């Protein structure tokens, strides 16, 4: 079966609960009937209201992070049972901003991936390189390392479900976008790494997204590349007209 394209919006630290509900209420009609799976990655404080607002629509809701422990003395953190009880489908993990500003590592991302599966949700696991790393020619090695550690200990069925998002750090929020060929090259590296670890059937089932200043204008050509199964979209996901165009990509 062909992999279903995904348009996943990562709102980051934007939108109050009221603004978030107003936005998804507007978005629901715009993305109705989309061929892509539509996901919005919402700040913690708006998750409950947004989940209620999208009920009955084709929009799914993701948290932007999660702790790997079930409960405990982890001030400011949110656990799997908390998110699961809200009915969330996805959790974004290992975003470069989490790694850069909050000291996340490949090992902690792996712990979180396991926890997300444990509580019945699906991880959207991010990987990506800095401009310096790209210029040093270590992109392939770095991406393979991040993917291998991130997937460590997962079953083949879990890897078929996971969504891996390649985000070149040098193209996030900078207005720069990797060329279609650059994005495809690294997404192919991700898929080849999964194939090496789990075999062809699993690799062909695993969805690989591209993220990094994806726009309504660039999405069509990017998503037409053979190893790119949609996008993890930042700024454009905050504009309903732009996100509608991205979500309604149909090849």
Q: Which residues are catalytic?
A: 95, 167
- 36-66 core/surface letters (b: 16 or more CB in 10 A; e: else): bbbbbbbbbebbbbbbebbeeeebbbbbbbb
Helices 240-247 and 216-223: crossing angle in degrees, nearest 10, is: 10
Within 13 Å, how many C-alpha atoms sit on residue 192's CB side?
A: 12
Total Cβ atoms within 10 A of residue 120: 11
Euclidean distance between CA atoms 179 and 49, whole angstroms: 37
What residues pair up with 62 in beta bridges, in sequence order? Answer: 41, 90
The tokens describing 102, both together, are: 């909050």
For 47, 144, 150, 181, 225, the CA distances from 83, given in Å and listed in that order, are 9, 29, 21, 37, 33
């Amino acid at each position: 079966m062909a992999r279903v394209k995904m348009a996943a919006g990562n709102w980051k630290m934007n939108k109050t609960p009221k603004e978030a509900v107003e936005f998804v209420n507007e978005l629901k009609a715009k993305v109705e009937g989309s061929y892509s799976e539509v996901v919005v990655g919402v700040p913690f404080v708006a998750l409950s209201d947004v989940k209620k607002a999208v009920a009955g629509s084709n929009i799914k809701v993701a948290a932007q992070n999660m702790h790997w422990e079930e409960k405990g003395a982890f001030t400011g953190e949110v656990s799997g049972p908390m998110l699961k009880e809200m009915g969330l489908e996805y959790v974004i993990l290992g975003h470069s901003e989490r790694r850069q500003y909050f000291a996340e590592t490949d090992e902690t991302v792996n712990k979180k991936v396991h926890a997300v599966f444990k509580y019945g949700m699906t991880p959207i696991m991010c990987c990506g390189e800095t401009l310096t790393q790209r210029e040093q020619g270590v992109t392939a090695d770095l991406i393979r390392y991040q993917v291998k550690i991130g997937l460590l200990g997962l079953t083949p069925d879990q890897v078929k479900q996971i969504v891996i998002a390649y985000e070149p750090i040098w193209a996030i929020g900078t207005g720069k976008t990797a060329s279609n060929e650059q994005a495809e090259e690294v997404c192919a590296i991700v898929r080849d790494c999964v194939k090496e670890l789990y075999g062809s059937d699993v690799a062909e089932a695993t969805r690989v997204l591209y993220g990094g200043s994806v726009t309504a204008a660039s999405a069509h050509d990017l998503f037409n590349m053979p190893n790119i199964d949609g996008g993890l979209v930042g700024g454009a996901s905050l504009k309903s007209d732009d996100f509608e165009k991205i979500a309604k990509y149909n090849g």
